């Protein structure tokens, strides 16, 4: 059966890298380990050097026009992609180039990728890839943030973790996913792509080194706890990430809580 709700076909990630060993540990932990074990995700790591065409397994060369560093040659990367496409000729591919020039990875991007069946992640090193890869092979160019990394491997791992945890059944705990911080883009939630930050969390002991847990959390009054958490989440967002609030549709309760927060901030402390 091609489509079966009980046994959905896994999302396939093909990672192309010159450091395949980089991925051994993350594949054996947490969400990626569980997603693979339960068949929701399939991850294959490919050594780009296997697609070079010389006995030195060369994958890079000096930049035209001069300058420092090395650039990944286009041929091994195109060859690697053609090999993957030949293996699954009927499938639709997303070819994601990890690069500092890409659009930023957000929760909305992760959700978009989680609806794909086959994603190729291209990780580069040195000065990056020949621009013809970005122009004529990649369908997407993604950065994980405005800071300089020495290569795209960690970024590929970040994409896989962010996407895999969204696949139905992988997390096992649908509720905690719905309540995510940054889950604004995830349906009906608290928290950051289009939502607000998470509220603070506490566990035992009720007092630690003189610092007590907020009393309301020990009260057993679920309605008060819910309201307190919402207010804390809104206040945290207002103080630390006001940008997240500007595009957020506010419920009546949120608007009221935010007004309380603003008023409390204006009051002189006595
Ligand atoms: C210091 C080198 N830079 C010259 C001005 C450019 C540059 C080239 C290659 C900077 C970083 C890299 C390697 N980075 C990635 O491949 C990468 C990355 C990143 O550096 N930051 C955030 N997301 C990503 S995704 C891939």
Instruction: Please tell me the distance from the alpha carbon of residue 211 to that of residue 214, in angstroms, as a whole number.
Output: 9
Greatest distance between any 2 Cα atoms in the chain: 76
Within 8 A by CB and 6+ apart from 8, the residues are: 40, 168
pLDDT tens digits, 102-124: 999 999 999 999 999 999 999 99
**Which pLDDT score is estimated for 8?**
76
In sequence order, the 6+-apart residues with CB closer than 8 A to the CB of 147 are none
Indicate if ligand 1 lies below 6 Å from the C-beta of 121: no
Nearest Cα neighbor of 190 from 234, 222, 241 is: 234
Taking only the tens place, the pLDDT of each residue in 20-51 is 999 999 999 999 999 999 999 999 999 999 99
Tell me if 149 sits within 8 A of 155, measured CB to CB: yes
31 alpha carbon to ligand 1 midpoint, in Å? 26
pTM as predicted: 0.92
Say yes or no to pLDDT of 199 above 70: yes
Summarised one tens digit per residue, pLDDT across range 205-245 is 999 999 999 999 999 999 999 999 999 999 999 999 999 99
Per the prediction, the chain carries an average pLDDT of 92
> What separation in Å is there between the alpha carbon of 128 and the centre of ligand 1?
7
Residue with tokens 């093909």: 14
State the distance from the centre of ligand 1 to the C-alpha of 144, rounded, in angstroms. Answer: 10
Exactly one of 8, 94, 100, 116 is catalytic; which is it?
A: 100
Q: Which residue's CA is the closest to the ligand 1 atom numbered 6?
A: 127
- Total number of residues shown for the chain: 270
Q: Which residues contact 265 (CB under 8 A, 6 or more apart)?
A: none
Residue nearest to atom 9 of ligand 1 (CA): 127
Contact 157 CB / ligand 1 (< 6 Å): no
Report pLDDT for 178. Answer: 55
SS3 103: strand
Integer Cα distance of 231 and 253 in angstroms: 9
Residue 190 is among the residues annotated as catalytic for this protein: no
What's the pLDDT at 7?
Answer: 72
User: Which ligand 1 atom is the nearest neighbour of the CA of 124?
Assistant: 16
Q: Is 138 in the pocket of ligand 1 (CB under 6 A)?
A: no
CA neighbor of 170 nearest in space, from 2, 45, 42:
42
Q: Is 127 a catalytic residue?
A: yes
Q: CA-CA-CA-CA torsion for 42, 146, 197, 158, nearest 10 degrees?
A: 10
CA separation, residue 176 to residues 171, 179, 181, 198 (Å) = 9, 5, 10, 11
Confidence of residue 169 (pLDDT cuts 50, 70, 90): confident
pLDDT band per the 50, 70, 90 thresholds, residue 190? very low
What SS3 string covers 147-187? CCCCCCHHHHHHHHHHHHCCCCCCCCCHHHHHCCCECCCCC
Q: Is the pLDDT of residue 87 over 70?
A: yes
Q: How many CA atoms lie within 13 A of 170 on its CB side?
A: 27
């Amino acid at each position: 059966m091609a489509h079966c709700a009980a046994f959905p076909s896994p999302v396939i990630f093909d990672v192309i890298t010159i450091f395949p060993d980089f991925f051994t540990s993350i594949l054996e932990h947490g969400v990626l380990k569980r997603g693979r074990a339960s068949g929701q995700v399939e991850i294959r790591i490919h050594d780009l050097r296997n697609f070079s065409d010389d006995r030195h397994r060369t994958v890079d060369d000096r930049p035209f026009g001069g300058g420092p560093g090395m650039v990944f040659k286009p041929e091994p990367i195109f060859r690697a992609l053609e090999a993957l496409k030949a293996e699954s000729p009927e499938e639709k591919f997303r070819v994601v180039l990890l690069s500092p020039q890409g659009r930023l990875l957000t929760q909305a991007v992760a959700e978009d990728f989680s609806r794909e069946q086959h994603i190729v992640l291209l990780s580069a090193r040195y000065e990056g890839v020949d621009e013809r890869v970005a122009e004529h092979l990649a369908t997407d160019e993604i950065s994980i943030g405005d800071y300089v990394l020495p290569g795209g491997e960690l970024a590929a791992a970040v994409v896989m973790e962010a996407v895999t945890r969204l696949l139905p059944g992988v997390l096992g705990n649908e509720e905690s996913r719905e309540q995510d911080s940054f889950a604004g883009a995830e349906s009906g939630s608290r928290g950051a792509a289009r939502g607000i930050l998470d509220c603070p969390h506490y566990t035992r002991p009720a007092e630690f080194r003189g610092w007590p847990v907020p009393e309301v959390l020990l009260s057993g009054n679920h309605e008060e706890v819910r309201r307190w958490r919402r207010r804390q989440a809104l206040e945290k967002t207002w103080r630390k990430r006001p940008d997240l609030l500007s595009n957020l549709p506010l419920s009546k309760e949120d608007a009221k809580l935010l007004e309380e927060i603003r008023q409390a901030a204006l009051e002189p402390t006595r």
